[in-house]
Chains A and B, each alone.
Chain A
Amino acid sequence: MQDTVKLHFDVSGNDFTCAGEASGKIKRTLKQLGFDISLVRNVAIAVYEAEINMVIHADGGVIDVDIDSDCITVVLKDRGPGIPDIELAMKEGYSTAPENVRMLGFGAGMGLPNIKKYTDEMNIDTVIGVGTTITLKVYNK
């Protein structure tokens, strides 16, 4: 019998009306599976931020979720511009979001730091001009 659940989502770029749909569905699935709410919340917040980043900064991408009874792994892959300086991008308040995006209330520069805070492992794999892959892990303790 399968003892993992896999989910896949396509996220379209620059469409704020759909932003948050994938993280919402992931949250619902984890709740249904009976995971502890604090884990569900951590995953939901982290994935939401990474999903929004894909929409704002990278013109969309794909999300793959691997749910295991002791670990949730989420891989967010985009073909965006890449992140030139990861250390700088991880700083609280740092943002390259354009004005029109800030007007919508996004671009506070807290996304990446929050992803780090709410996950147990976070890995950013980025190549300028090719894209970014962010891998998140949250353990079920």
Chain B
Amino acid sequence: MNTVFHSVNLDKSKCLGCMNCIKRCPTQAIRVRHGKATIISERCIDCGECIRICPHHAKTAKTDSLSMIEDYKYKIALPAPSLYGQFRNLEDVNIVLTALLELGFDSVFEVARGAEVVSDATRKLVEKGGLKKPIISSACPAVIRLIRVSYPELIDNLLKLETPMEESAFLARKEAEEKTGLPQEDIGVFFITPCPAKITAIKSPLCADKSNVSGAIAISDIYPKLLHKMKHLENVQELNQASKAGVRWAVSCGEAYSAGINNYIAADGIENVIKILEEIEDDKLNDIDFIELNACTGGCIGGCLTITNNFVARTRLKALKKFVQDTDNKINNEDELKEIGWKGELEPASVLKVADNVTDAMKFMNQVEEMVKTFPGLDCGTCGAPTCRALAEDIVRGYANVDHCIFRLKQEMEKNPNTNNDDIEKMIPVPFRGTIDEEKLKWT
């Protein structure tokens, strides 16, 4: 299993080395060094928060281009339900689906269909019982990765089902193979994605050897071309095979709704997800059946590769009218229920742990605690780390130096009898000039 790939990527040429992303990253995975951001690979969960915040568009998602579909004889588009929320005055999703065919795809398979199957499997598993409560949804790959690195003990609570995207890819492939008789490698399955986390889940799956998805095209990339085709359609084909239940997965609460679970919590936005995970960890939510977590505000409609603001997209989705009513996107028997389960175990990757044994970890911790006391506690970010504590940890780990803290550097320079202290004072950024309690900066 390859876990090194990250969709979230830095375009060094655009990075100015500002402090925006280091402050925003929920796993403190970014540092600025020599004027450029660097991402600590093991900590990155591909949530896309840095892509959202970067004012210089230096944080990007590695996506595939539409031209990649030409590498395959038979091309299938897998539109995420969030795609439907991107358009103004859209009532009929068949317009979007037909336009996808016009862009060169041979068929479309709505991910909302896979979502309905996953919902049915969820319902059946919850009814069966025996799962560790609260059950945590495994639909958002950024959340899965967050749990893996920061809350590994909650892996047992995860609902071990394929995502709607994977399930759809699996079903779409099967359908295409039967229809065309082509071998696997000639069939290209392309997910139209709202986020980098899903791309990472395709390129380096955690619980399977290989994804059924061949590539991922960002909603933001395909949007203009799609819109153009949508405006010039001659006839609209009846392609929609998903009901509203599956489409609601694009919005927070949709999963619980589609599975018919009442006693649930749905949290969206990475900070809220973290708060809920903390509560689960403290055993405060053991009276809840199901927890739906979306890294993005509002759910997948808030993905960082979407075009339309998530609050607007929510209303656009509601405006969609023409959906098929009854679908056979269901789990039909025990075998199918087994088939939709994870194929492998999710291994924890505890990056929080500082050493292999408690004694070494305590030594480390004491060094960090001592070090932290010598910093001003401003969390100003000018050292390139998100907080004074993060810098202290970096130093003890050997990745940074004490003089990366400008206040500590100043102190060091003042020791030199030949320097003019007024000049040194000017080195300190204006907001902090004269405010630092020298007592707090005592040497250890």
On A, residues with C-beta under 8 Å from B are 1-5, 7, 24, 27-29, 31-35, 37, 41, 44-45, 48, 67, 69, 140
Contact status A3-B362, CB under 8 Å: yes
In chain B, residues 331-387, which have Cβ atoms closer than 8 Å to a Cβ of chain A? 350, 352-359, 361-363, 365-366, 369
Given contacts A3-B359, A34-B354, A35-B358, contact A41 B281 (CB under 8 A): yes
In the complex, what distance in Å separates the CA atom of A34 from the CA atom of B361?
A: 7
Contact status B357-A34, CB under 8 Å: yes
B282: interface (CB < 8 Å): yes
Interface centre among A5, A67, A69 (most CB of B within 10 A): A5
Contact status A32-B281, CB under 8 Å: no
Name the distance in Å between B393's Cβ and chain A's nearest Cβ.
9
Q: Which among A24, A48, A69 is the interface contact of B358 at CB below 8 angstroms?
A: A69
Name the distance in Å between B70's Cβ and chain A's nearest Cβ.
49
Contact status B278-A32, CB under 8 Å: no
Contact status A33-B282, CB under 8 Å: no
Looking across the interface, which residue of chain A has its beta carbon closest to that of B358?
A: A69
Looking across the interface, which residue of chain A has its beta carbon closest to that of B284?
A: A45
In the complex, what distance in Å separates the CA atom of A35 from the CA atom of B353?
A: 9
| CB within 8 Å: A-B pair count | 56
On B, residues with C-beta under 8 Å from A are 152-153, 278, 281-283, 350, 352-359, 361-363, 365-366, 369
Name the distance in Å between A69's Cβ and chain B's nearest Cβ.
4
- Shortest 7 CB-CB contacts between residues of A and residues of B: A37-B153, A33-B361, A69-B358, A34-B353, A5-B365, A5-B362, A2-B366
Task: Supply 24 A–B pairs (Cβ within 8 Å), ascending by A.
Answer: A1-B363, A2-B363, A3-B362, A5-B362, A5-B366, A5-B369, A7-B369, A29-B365, A32-B361, A33-B354, A33-B358, A33-B362, A33-B365, A34-B350, A34-B357, A34-B358, A37-B153, A37-B281, A41-B281, A41-B282, A44-B281, A45-B282, A69-B358, A69-B359
Secondary structure at the B interface, as helix, strand, loop or mixed, is helix
Task: Knowing that A32-B361, A35-B358 touch, tell me 16 more A-B residue pairs with CB under 8 angstroms.
Answer: A2-B363, A3-B359, A3-B362, A24-B278, A27-B282, A28-B352, A29-B365, A31-B352, A32-B352, A32-B365, A33-B362, A34-B356, A34-B358, A34-B361, A37-B153, A69-B358
Contact status B362-A4, CB under 8 Å: yes
Q: Which residues of B contact A24 (CB under 8 A)?
A: 278
Given contacts A31-B352, A34-B355, A44-B282, contact A69 B365 (CB under 8 A): no
In the complex, what distance in Å separates the CA atom of A5 from the CA atom of B353?
A: 15
In the complex, what distance in Å separates the CA atom of A45 from the CA atom of B282?
A: 6
In the complex, what distance in Å separates the CA atom of A34 from the CA atom of B359?
A: 10
In the complex, what distance in Å separates the CA atom of A4 from the CA atom of B359?
A: 8
Contact status A2-B282, CB under 8 Å: no
Name the distance in Å between A51's Cβ and chain B's nearest Cβ.
12
Contact status A41-B358, CB under 8 Å: no
Name the distance in Å between A90's Cβ and chain B's nearest Cβ.
21
Given contacts A31-B352, A34-B353, A34-B358, contact A41 B283 (CB under 8 A): yes
Name the distance in Å between A40's Cβ and chain B's nearest Cβ.
8
Q: Which residues of A contact B152 (CB under 8 A)?
A: 37
